[in-house]
Amino acid sequence: MLLPIGGKALILHTCERARAASLVDRVTVATDDQRIFDAVAAGGFEVVMTSAEHRSGSDRIAEVAEGLADGTIVVNVQGDEPTIDPETIDRAVKEMISDTSADIVTVYEMIETATDLADPNIVKVVSDSSGRALYFSRSPIPFVRDRVGDFDLQAGHYKKHTGLYVYRREFLLRFSKMGPGRLELAEKLEQLRALENGAIIKVVEAAGRSVGVDTPDDLEKMRAVLEAQLTYN
């Protein structure tokens, strides 16, 4: 979160992207790390120190959400998404507003390479005809039984899950009290906790591609993108 990109900590780039979304009224960073707290405060953004005992990002966000008004829509942008398009955030919020059945809204991008498809750090999602998530996995899904090894990326079968969640405050507070299920523990994906408990997760397409920072290679890709934008601007 504190690695410098164009002279600014990575987390601050993510904050700026969130603040640029037209449907976001307030940006708050939730952290249990004093170094991140100090960097965010120095960058001029609101920051809250939370417990170090949380199991996931959503649990940490829920601690902050307890102090918000009933009916608040809460957007969880993971701190390692400094290239997320503000329009992507707006699309997810609009879907939450328009679909009153949704408990969570999240976003996807199409997977374009076999390398990304095989990468367990890139989470895949499959959804039904109405855009409701059926499953998330670190493995390639769906499995093409009749053409093993030929994933036909151009057919648009494979979707990358992007690190953004939109919740209704009341569901988020319930979600944070649910115990982790066997699927979440197996895949280490908190969204599976929601599916195992019958939640409806809507999945909408992102407005543009983003680079989540999970590995050193991701960092270099993201740094090149951001520094090129800074140079251009």
**In order of start, what are the domains of the chain with their CATH numbers?**
4-219 (3.90.550.10)
Instruction: Select the more confidently predicted residue: 154 or 158.
Output: 158
User: What pLDDT, on the 0 to 100 scale, is given for residue 149?
Assistant: 55
User: What pLDDT, on the 0 to 100 scale, is given for residue 16?
Assistant: 96
Mean pLDDT of 134-151: 79
Instruction: Give the model confidence (pLDDT) of 10-48 as tens digits.
Output: 999 999 999 999 999 999 999 999 999 999 999 999 999
Residue type, 6: G
User: What pLDDT, on the 0 to 100 scale, is given for residue 193?
Assistant: 93
Q: How confident is the model at residue 74 (pLDDT cuts 50, 70, 90)?
A: very high
Q: How confident is the model at residue 4 (pLDDT cuts 50, 70, 90)?
A: confident
Alpha carbon 136 to its chain centroid, in Å, reads: 13
How far is it, in rounded angstroms, from Cα 62 to Cα 18? Answer: 18
